Amino acid sequence: MRLDYLTIFPDYLAPLGLSLPGKAAARGLVEVHVHDLRGWTRDRHRTVDDTPYGGGAGMVMRPEPWGEALDELLGQDPHPATVVVPSPAGRPLTQALARALSTRPRLLFACGRYEGIDQRVLDHAREREDAEEVVEVSLGDYVLNGGEVAALAVTEAVVRLLPGFMGNAASLEEESHEQGLLEYPVYTKPSSWRGHDVPPVLLSGNHAAIAAWRHEQSLARTAERRPDLLHASHVAGEWEVLPAA
């Protein structure tokens, strides 16, 4: 998978060379390219933003540098790219979306700052033959200053799903959200610590009882913390408190 990042703060994406994406790059699973959007400006001040038409607070990113950057970067690879645009107005990042993105050959992250990117950049990208799709993605219902942290989060969620990345595929299937539920609590040695004991069932060696306990814990936690997740259709058969649709 090829990953491109367009940003006015390339240093903000330095963590891509570390930890998880770094490991994936070292294994040849991903190829990472970070680009400074200002490289596609033509004026002396390397201007990337301007005041919004119609008035209002803040600045909007001008379309021209984005257009020229897309012209150059999308042309560099035979695979059409999925353009990922981090935005608080995007669709929520979920495990299902991360899975879908992990099947793509090429992702290009367009990291905006200020109040956002001129809408025509997205409209234009959606018309391009060398862009497979344009996906606006949000991390959640709060505001960040720019798309870089979100691009890192999407990258980490996606890269760990690439075939050959995780040693143990079972650990991927068991974790939070893969089953539409939060993960059960986990314990390791010692079995007693500062007056707190590991739940005895986990020491029982009874694998069926352990699996049942974990599933129960997942359901209870999800009901308590994230009841919205229980409305997902594939859980419905197992959880009677669901209101009829």
Q: What are the binding residues?
A: 112, 139-144
Q: How far is the CB of 127 from ligand 6GU (least distance, A)?
A: 23
End-to-end CA distance of the chain: 40
Report the amino acid identity of residue 48.
Answer: V
Task: Single out the residue of 39, 22, 40 nearest to residue 31, CA to CA.
Answer: 22
Q: What are phi and psi of 158, to 5 degrees?
A: -80, -45
State how far the Cα of 148 lies from the Cα of 153, in Å rounded to an integer.
9
Residue-by-residue DSSP string for 207-224: HHHHHHHHHHHHHHHHHH
Q: Which of 88, 128, 160, 198 binds ligand 6GU (CB under 6 A)?
A: 88
135 and 104 Cβ atoms separated by less than 8 Å: no
131: its two tokens: 């862009």
Q: Which of 150, 158, 181, 219 binds ligand 6GU (CB under 6 A)?
A: 150
Q: Using the rule CB under 6 A, is 7 a contact of ligand 6GU?
A: no
Q: How far is the CB of 117 from ligand 6GU (least distance, A)?
A: 11
Using CB under 6 A, which of the segments 45-53, 60-68, 142-150, 234-242 binds ligand 6GU?
A: 142-150
Q: How far is the CB of 152 from ligand 6GU (least distance, A)?
A: 10
Q: Using the rule CB under 6 A, is 58 a contact of ligand 6GU?
A: no
Strand partners, 2: 31, 106
Strand partners, 91: 137
Nearer to ligand 6GU, 140 or 199 (CB): 140
Binding to ligand 6GU (CB under 6 A): which residues in 101-140? 137-140
Give the annotated binding-site residues for S-adenosyl-L-methionine.
Answer: 112, 139-144
Q: How far is the CB of 179 from ligand 6GU (least distance, A)?
A: 25
Q: How far is the CB of 213 from ligand 6GU (least distance, A)?
A: 35
Q: Using the rule CB under 6 A, is 245 a contact of ligand 6GU?
A: no
Nearer to ligand 6GU, 22 or 90 (CB): 90
Q: Which of 36, 86, 98, 180 binds ligand 6GU (CB under 6 A)?
A: 86
Report the amino acid identity of residue 146.
Answer: G
Q: Using the rule CB under 6 A, is 155 a contact of ligand 6GU?
A: no
State how far the Cα of 123 lies from the Cα of 220, in Å rounded to an integer.
44
Q: In which element (H, E) is residue 100 found?
A: helix 95-101
174 and 180 Cβ atoms separated by less than 8 Å: no
Task: Enumerate binding residues for ligand 6GU (CB under 6 A).
Answer: 86-88, 90, 137-140, 142-144, 146-147, 150
